Amino acid sequence: MPDPNSQTVKLYREDPLLETFTATVLEVRELGDDGFGIILDRTAFYPEAGGQPADEGQLGEAEVFDVQEEDGEGSLDWQRRRDFMQQHSGQHLLSAVVLDEFSAVTRGFHLGEEESTIDLSVELSDEDLSHTQSRINNLVDLNLSISTRFGGRDDPAVKAARKPPPPGIEEVRLVDIEGVDSVPCGGTHLPSTSMIGGIHILAGGTGRAHGFFRLSFICGGRLRRRLSSLDRISAELSVKLTTSPESFAERFEDMEEQIKDLKREITDLRKALIPLRVSALLEGAEKVGSARIVMTRIDDLSPESLPILVSALTAHTDVIALVGAEVSGTGRIIFARGEDFDIDMGAILGEAATMLGGGGGGSSVHATGGGPNGEALDTVLFDSLTRVRTLLKGEE
């Protein structure tokens, strides 16, 4: 039986396109709730490393859900592996081109499930990114070979690579893209650039991250799926907007202007209705001595219309207005009075706003405030009405 402590042969280095393989189980370890760990004498499963996620697949009848490097028949989830190789090989081209064109050094790489990112030392403009994408896709079309080789740290090829190998690595694995790039890498790659299937740098996927310029990209199958999805969405929007995709932005701007116009019309209509609402509220006002008290909750007026209504009410010198509204769970209150009375509306509102969990301000004649406890608004209004009644009776 082979020695369990011997190094597992890494078949993915010899043939990254290998989908199935046979191997001898050297050791089985129980991992509790995580299942079992299996050590093989050789494997095509790539372990999580260098920014590339681990392979998944089958080992006999068992599911392989993680691969970590440690010193029956297995089959890879080939679609996943091929996808990761497209993204990883595409990243090598991308990093090589931005370095050559703009002296932008790749400081980080993340291979995600939906899209991937690299972090660059230099910020690139939209024009730079467009040029980069065009050049990479030209290199993809040239069907350049992608190969691997090993060398010591002092090997001239290793010293001339795009970046130095990690510390402690004596036997360095180089991934070469014919005439374009050579870099230390332990990951799996396609044998030619044409198999990358194209690259697209995502619009809106750029920005600053950890002090570097981050851009997002997709390659190969991801690019085709994204194009198919966008084409389907575009077709649906074309029908709904009755225009071609090239005119979407223009149609959107037109719709924005129409919405603004409608909002202005609604605001104007609401303002025009304020005198009618004021008349209705005055008709239902509570009489306490010589005062008319209007206590009401109005949730359908815009924030700018509510003060106008209150001012219209208290233009009548014998009116005291206690008006509230709830907007998105937040309680808003405006308390005001006509000039016939000497009640401190600011003090009353301050206590009411505290019950709403907030605060307010203003004068003894007109005060505004509110708080996040909008569910307490009705109670706050009724308590404030009771206090006003008491104060008015004290003035009699």
Q: What backbone phi and psi angles, to 5 degrees, belong to 163?
A: -145, 155
How confident is the model over 72-110, as pLDDT tens digits?
556 778 899 899 999 999 999 999 999 999 999 999 999
Identify which has the larger pLDDT, 127 or 27: 127
Q: In angstroms, how far is CA 24 from the centroid of its own chain? A: 45
What string of DSSP letters covers 301-362? Answer: S-TTHHHHHHHHHHTSTTEEEEEEEEETTEEEEEEEE-TT----HHHHHHHHHHHTTSEEEE
DSSP 131: H
Q: Among 118-132, 201-215, 257-271, whose mean pLDDT is lowest?
A: 257-271
The whole-model pTM stands at 0.61
The amino acid at 234: S
State how far the Cα of 196 lies from the Cα of 137, in Å rounded to an integer. 9
Among the listed ranges 68-72, 337-341, 342-346, which one has the minimum average pLDDT value? 68-72
DSSP helix/strand/coil, 286: strand
Domains annotated for the chain, with CATH where assigned, are 9-75 (2.40.30.130), 81-240 (3.30.980.10), 263-395 (3.10.310.40)
Q: Is 107 helix (H, G, I), strand (E, B) or coil?
A: strand
More confident residue, 376 or 64: 376
pLDDT category, 10, cuts 50, 70, 90?
confident
Confidence label for 332 from pLDDT (cuts 50, 70 and 90): very high
